[in-house]
Amino acid sequence: MKVGRVVLAMDIGGTKLGAAVVTESGDVLGEMLRPTNPSWQPLEIIEVLFALAEEAVCRADTEWRALAALGVSFGGPVDFPAGITVRCHHLPGWEGVALRDVLAERSGLPAIMDNDANAACLGEVAFGAARGCRDVLYVTVSTGIGAGLVLDGRPYRGAGSMAGELGHTLVVPDGPSCSCGRRGCLEAVASGPAIARAGGEALEAGEDSVLRCIPRAELTAEHIAEAAGSDPLAARIMETAGEYLGLAIAGAVNLLNPQIVVIGGGVSLAGDALLRPLREAVRRYGAAEALCDLAIVVGQLGRRGGLLGAAALALERSSCE
């Protein structure tokens, strides 16, 4: 196997932390994951990340000095040029943390950081479903919802690094409360936690479903997606989430006219239960001219999207050295 450059990738998410050693062709040589403790402060998370990284380097049978760069996928908005986290809607204490510089100093490696959607978009362009595409809209549906953009072959982050906050697009005026503090955002009605909440509320209201055998505190979007093929309640919940996603994506497609829309994140693994209503809603709400030849596909990187996106960032960073 041709290895070439080898980089260290880190993923900071609302539900998991990860570190991996990745080659320039996207092969994962060593990987470590663990659940995120929602009470951990940034310094605690950084300590855990480096412990995971040390083990990943060991599993990769390589040495720290062989790593070309460090890339980080962060689950929240960032100031990309400054390398500073703006906030994380799912973890405390991340307002104004100079994470890029902290990790560069601690690791001794050139470092780069971006939000998780931007990173995963670059990962799909480099290694996955969007290879060869110059105009890409990537939508991640997981603990939160975000979007990453590649336009005319270049990452697009916006004037203040805030492009792609699709999850905080208003889709239900005066709808459910969102983690951002507003109401009716896409994330509040179609993210993994929102899907689970909708299932729990329906069961509490007395609706019949096979989901009733799962304690509400343990009910997840994955349970609902798995039941959607045979359970009317689960199917309706996934249909509703897919339609809201399609509505928001249609607006983005009308604005940006991408070649391809890549759906990633854990909830994308729900398959047709989510994608069929999503695609139907895009066709219903999208402009015909913008939909011509548009592909809507599931990302190929799966649960490694964040780590491989971070690796794509690190490879970009190392090429600047």
How confident is the model over 199-215, as a mean pLDDT?
95
Note whether residue 121 is domain-resident: no
pLDDT at res. 321: 61
pLDDT at 1 exceeding the cut of 70? no
Note whether residue 219 is domain-resident: yes
Note whether residue 46 is domain-resident: yes
What is the tens place of the pLDDT at every residue in 2-47? Answer: 568 999 999 998 889 999 999 999 999 999 999 999 999 999 999 9
Compute the mean pLDDT over every residue in the chain, rounded to the nearest whole number: 94
pLDDT at res. 15: 85
CATH number at residue 100: 3.30.420.40
* Shared-domain flag, residues 146 and 295: yes
pLDDT at res. 143: 85
Note whether residue 165 is domain-resident: yes
What is the tens place of the pLDDT at every residue in 159-194? Answer: 999 999 999 999 999 999 998 899 999 999 999 999
pLDDT at res. 12: 95
What are the beta bridge partners of residue 97? 85
Note whether residue 173 is domain-resident: yes
pLDDT at res. 9: 98
What is the tens place of the pLDDT at every residue in 255-275? Answer: 999 999 999 988 998 999 999
Residues 6+ apart with CB under 8 A from 148: 115, 117, 118, 119, 120, 121, 122, 136, 137, 138, 140, 155, 164
pLDDT at 254 exceeding the cut of 70? yes
pLDDT at res. 89: 76
pLDDT at 286 exceeding the cut of 80? yes
Range(s) of the domain holding residue 63: 6-116+304-318
* Shared-domain flag, residues 267 and 310: no
* Shared-domain flag, residues 108 and 199: no
* Long-range Cβ contacts of 247-251 (<8 Å, 24+ apart): 247/171, 247/281, 247/285, 248/166, 248/169, 248/171, 248/186, 249/137, 249/139, 249/166, 249/278, 249/281, 249/282, 249/296, 250/281, 250/282, 250/284, 250/285, 250/286, 251/169, 251/285
What is the tens place of the pLDDT at every residue in 88-126? Answer: 878 999 999 999 999 999 999 999 999 999 999 999 999
* Shared-domain flag, residues 221 and 260: yes
* Shared-domain flag, residues 134 and 101: no
How confident is the model over 300-311, as a mean pLDDT?
93
